[in-house]
Amino acid sequence: KESLGKLEKTKLNVGFVPITCATPIIMAHPMGFYERYGLDVTVTKTAGWAVARDKSLAG
């Protein structure tokens, strides 16, 4: 953690489309990975790629 440098942001909203490749994003929270690296992450399931894109662009 110390060797990674200072984090630019610690509070993140992460959207995912419910497919197999999203498993690391989903499981990182209950496994404590986000917390271990000083991140406060809200993980949100989205209906599809277009929704994820639009939410990302909207901030």
Check residue 23 and give its pLDDT.
Answer: 94
Domain count, the chain: 1
- Residue 33 — pLDDT band, cuts 50, 70, 90? very high
50 DSSP assignment: H
Residue 38: CB partners within 8 Å, gap ≥ 6? 1, 7, 10
pTM recorded for the entire structure: 0.71
Check residue 1 and give its pLDDT.
Answer: 52
**If we measure between CA atoms, which residue out of 21, 14, 24 comes closest to residue 46?**
14
Q: Determine the structural domain holding residue 13 and report its residue range.
A: 2-58
